[in-house]
């Protein structure tokens, strides 16, 4: 799954073809929702980010 905002330039045929060719499900978020998702970034993904940094 690929999660990104619904910016018009992100919705191109080339991107969709690439997603479908690689079994990636594109998930478009509505505009102006990132402020509501910020707590997820801090609470949920902080551990994942820390583990990733340790591996690199």
* Cα separations in angstroms, 37 against 29, 41, 42: 10, 7, 9
CA distance 13 to 23: 15
pTM surpassing 0.85? no
User: 28 is in which domain, residue-wise?
Assistant: 2-55
- The count of structural domains within the chain is 1
The residue that leads in pLDDT, 20 or 5, is 20
pLDDT tens digits along 26-47:
887 777 776 676 666 677 778 8
User: Which token pair is 36?
Assistant: 């509501």
Question: Helical H runs in 1-56?
Answer: 13-21, 34-43, 46-55
């Amino acid at each position: 799954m690929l999660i990104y905002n619904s910016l018009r330039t992100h919705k191109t045929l080339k991107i969709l073809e690439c997603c479908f060719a690689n079994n990636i499900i594109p998930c478009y978020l509505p505009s102006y929702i990132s402020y509501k998702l910020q707590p997820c970034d801090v609470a949920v993904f902080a551990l994942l980010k820390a583990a990733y940094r340790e591996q690199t």
